[in-house]
């Protein structure tokens, strides 16, 4: 995989080189040529009350030469904010030669970055949809799964990939011990509800590098008697939710019938589990006893307090969300019966799909990733927020919550000559 990625980047460099004979300024604030492209955007966003953070290029212009001889595109797929540092996962293309490649730029500290930046890291196209995290503000890793659905059964065949300083694939799981893989203290582990595993119990699997194997143990605080009909676990999700020292694990359960639903959460710090916190009386968590007809649950980061993540339940086969928050000692209701905006099209099946949902301050935002609309929770539904920040033809491709507001990526086409190019601007939507 590394050799294939290197070869693709070599081709990309050849194609990009036809536009420029120099890479000067690829890591800095640039001079007059780049300023001519960036300053109008900075002024536009400033007037809209949304400060400009930086721009992602496929290939930045050369100082003293404003000609753009090839159409290059740069879309931001994901924004990662970690300890005040911003990193992005980008997808790039050169349509004229049908070239597509992906990569990350870590700890952005300038007004523009690109795949040629010194803090850029290549990412195989096959991994761009992985779950990414940046460890210690320095190491980009991702978790790739061959099957499963996030928040439903748990991932199967999970693999951890490390991208820098040297690319390699580490721990690999099997479908017999599927779960959500994470890294704490340089050790890999998985949290598995065991619904499709050899054990059929909530399990902690720890990776043993010397034998390339997984060692499993039942999580006592979550154990249940099979066939008893009491506290039967169903859908689940596990996430660090922005933390570096713990992983949260949330799940839905029921007693006797699925109409007696409960929401639960526990945390693991790499050596021990916390107590389980639960909220009874949430009503139905789906129909029948089949896992395929259950509500799903997802953990979301609370950037204003990493120890108090949000828990979002999507009701089965509907466009309705129920939002909860873990306070550290209890689970409280934030808003139930929230409907997705009807402006979001139904692409597959009968329900609407959104790309990302993020929290910041007292606000909840979501995007589809394919249009210009930023949706903000208002009452019991989402409405378009700040419609004048994005213009027709532009797309909001990624969002990320921070303690001060929402980071948002806007993909736009610049009418450069003789060829246009697509760039992505990252801006901040301040908290109200």
DSSP 110-132: SSEE-TTSTTEEEE-GGGTTSEE
Q: Residue 51 falls within a domain, yes or no?
A: no
Distance from C-alpha of 204 to C-alpha of 219, rounded to nearest angstrom: 6
Q: Is residue 90 pLDDT above 60, yes or no?
A: yes
- Predicted confidence band of residue 289 (pLDDT cuts 50, 70, 90): confident
Distance from C-alpha of 272 to C-alpha of 88, rounded to nearest angstrom: 32
Map tokens 């060692």 to a residue.
Answer: 215
Q: Residue 327 falls within a domain, yes or no?
A: yes
- Computed on alpha carbons and rounded to an integer, the radius of gyration of the chain in Å comes to 23
Name the least confident of 84-98, 147-161, 220-234: 147-161
User: What secondary structure does DSSP assign to 318-345, as a single string?
Assistant: SSEEEEEEE-SS-EEEEEEEEEPPTTS-
Alpha-carbon dihedral sign for residues 103, 109, 112, 116 = negative
Contact 298, 314 (CB under 8 A): yes
Mean pLDDT of the chain: 90
- For the sheet containing 374-378, what is the strand order? 296-300, 310-314, 320-326, 331-339, 381-385, 374-378, 363-367, 356-360
Tell me: the pLDDT tens digits for 339-367?
999 999 898 889 999 999 999 999 999 99
Instruction: Give backbone dihedrals phi and psi of 333, rounded to 5 degrees, phi first.
Output: -80, 125
CA atoms within a 13 Å half-sphere pointing along the CA-CB vector of 213? 4
Tell me: the pLDDT tens digits for 18-54?
443 323 333 444 457 899 999 999 999 999 999 999 9
Q: Which pLDDT does position 180 carry in this prediction? A: 92
Distance from C-alpha of 76 to C-alpha of 128, rounded to nearest angstrom: 11
- Predicted confidence band of residue 173 (pLDDT cuts 50, 70, 90): confident
Q: Which pLDDT does position 149 carry in this prediction? A: 61
Distance from C-alpha of 414 to C-alpha of 73, rounded to nearest angstrom: 10
Q: Residue 126 falls within a domain, yes or no?
A: no
Which has the higher per-residue pLDDT, 327 or 200? 327
How far separated are the first and last CA of the chain, in Å rounded? 45
Angle at the Cα of 86 from the Cα atoms of 115 and 305, rounded to 5 degrees: 155
Contact 323, 379 (CB under 8 A): no
E strand or H helix at 161, and its extent?
strand 159-162
Q: Which pLDDT does position 19 carry in this prediction? A: 40
234 is written with which tokens? 């169903």
Distance from C-alpha of 344 to C-alpha of 427, rounded to nearest angstrom: 23
Q: Residue 116 falls within a domain, yes or no?
A: no
Q: What is the mean pLDDT of residues 123-139?
A: 93
Q: Residue 296 falls within a domain, yes or no?
A: yes
- Predicted confidence band of residue 198 (pLDDT cuts 50, 70, 90): low
Q: Which pLDDT does position 110 carry in this prediction? A: 96
Q: Is residue 240 pLDDT above 90, yes or no?
A: yes
Q: Residue 198 falls within a domain, yes or no?
A: no
67 is written with which tokens? 């000609």
Name the least confident of 62-71, 114-123, 131-140, 208-217: 62-71
Determine what percent of the chain is predicted with pLDDT higher than 70. Answer: 90
Beta bridge partners of 89: 78, 104
Beta bridge partners of 294: 286
Map tokens 């991702």 to a residue.
Answer: 142
Distance from C-alpha of 237 to C-alpha of 240, rounded to nearest angstrom: 10
Nearest Cα neighbor of 62 from 52, 54, 72 is: 72
Distance from C-alpha of 14 to C-alpha of 1, rounded to nearest angstrom: 20
Tell me: the pLDDT tens digits for 312-344?
999 999 999 999 999 999 999 999 999 999 999
Contact 325, 309 (CB under 8 A): yes
User: What secondary structure does DSSP assign to 173-231, as a single string?
Assistant: --GGG--EEEEETTEEEEEE--TTSSS-S-EEEEEETTTTEEEEEE-GGG---TTS-SS
Q: Residue 118 falls within a domain, yes or no?
A: no
Domain holding 281: CATH number?
2.40.128
Strands 381-385 and 374-378: antiparallel
Residue 58's Cα: distance from chain center in Å? 21
Q: Which pLDDT does position 348 carry in this prediction? A: 85
Q: Residue 330 falls within a domain, yes or no?
A: yes
Which has the higher per-residue pLDDT, 288 or 415? 415
Q: Is residue 428 pLDDT above 70, yes or no?
A: yes
> Which domain covers residue 283, as residue numbers?
227-339
Q: DSSP 3-state assignment of 289?
A: coil
Distance from C-alpha of 74 to C-alpha of 69, rounded to nearest angstrom: 16
Total number of domains constituting the chain: 1
Distance from C-alpha of 131 to C-alpha of 103, rounded to nearest angstrom: 14
């Amino acid at each position: 995989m590394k050799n294939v990625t290197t070869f693709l980047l070599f081709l990309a460099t050849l194609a990009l080189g036809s536009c420029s004979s120099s890479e000067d300024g690829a890591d800095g604030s640039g001079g007059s040529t780049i300023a001519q492209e960036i300053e109008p955007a900075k002024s536009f966003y400033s007037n809209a009350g949304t400060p400009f953070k930086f721009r992602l290029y496929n290939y930045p212009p050369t100082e003293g030469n404003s000609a753009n001889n090839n159409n290059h595109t740069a879309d931001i797929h994901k924004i990662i904010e970690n300890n005040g540092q911003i990193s992005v996962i980008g997808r790039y293309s050169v349509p004229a030669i049908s070239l597509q490649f992906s990569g990350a730029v870590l700890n952005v500290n300038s007004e523009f970055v690109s795949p040629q930046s010194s803090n850029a890291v290549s990412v195989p196209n096959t991994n761009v949809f992985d779950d990414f995290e940046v460890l210690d503000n320095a190491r980009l890793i991702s978790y790739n799964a061959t099957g499963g659905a996030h928040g439903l059964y748990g991932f199967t065949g999970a693999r951890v990939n490390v991208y820098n300083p040297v690319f390699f694939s580490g721990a690999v799981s099997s479908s017999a011990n599927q779960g959500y893989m994470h890294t704490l203290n340089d050790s890999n582990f998985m949290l598995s509800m065991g619904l499709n595993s050899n054990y059929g119990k909530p399990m902690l699997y720890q990776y043993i590098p010397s034998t390339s194997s997984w060692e499993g143990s039942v999580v006592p605080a979550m154990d249940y008697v099979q066939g008893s009909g009491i506290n039967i676990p169903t859908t689940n999700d596990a996430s660090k939710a922005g933390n570096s020292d713990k992983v949260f694990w949330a799940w839905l359960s029921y007693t006797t019938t699925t109409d007696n639903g409960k929401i639960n959460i526990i945390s693991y710090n790499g050596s021990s589990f916390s107590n389980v916190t639960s909220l009874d009386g949430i009503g139905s968590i789906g129909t029948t006893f089949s896992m395929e007809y259950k509500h799903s649950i997802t953990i979301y980061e609370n950037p204003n307090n990493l120890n108090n993540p949000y828990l979002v339940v999507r009701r089965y086969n509907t466009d309705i969300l129920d939002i909860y928050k873990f306070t550290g000692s209890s689970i409280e209701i934030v808003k139930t019966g929230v409907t997705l905006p009807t402006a979001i099209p139904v692409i597959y099946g009968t329900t609407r799909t959104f790309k990302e949902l993020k929290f910041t301050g007292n606000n909840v935002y979501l995007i589809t990733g394919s249009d210009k609309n930023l949706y903000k929770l208002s009452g019991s539904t989402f409405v378009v927020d700040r419609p004048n920040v994005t213009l027709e033809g532009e797309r909001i491709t990624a969002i990320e919550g921070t303690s001060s507001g929402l980071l948002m990526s806007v993909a736009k086409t610049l009418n450069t000559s003789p060829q246009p190019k697509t760039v992505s601007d990252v801006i901040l939507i301040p908290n109200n």
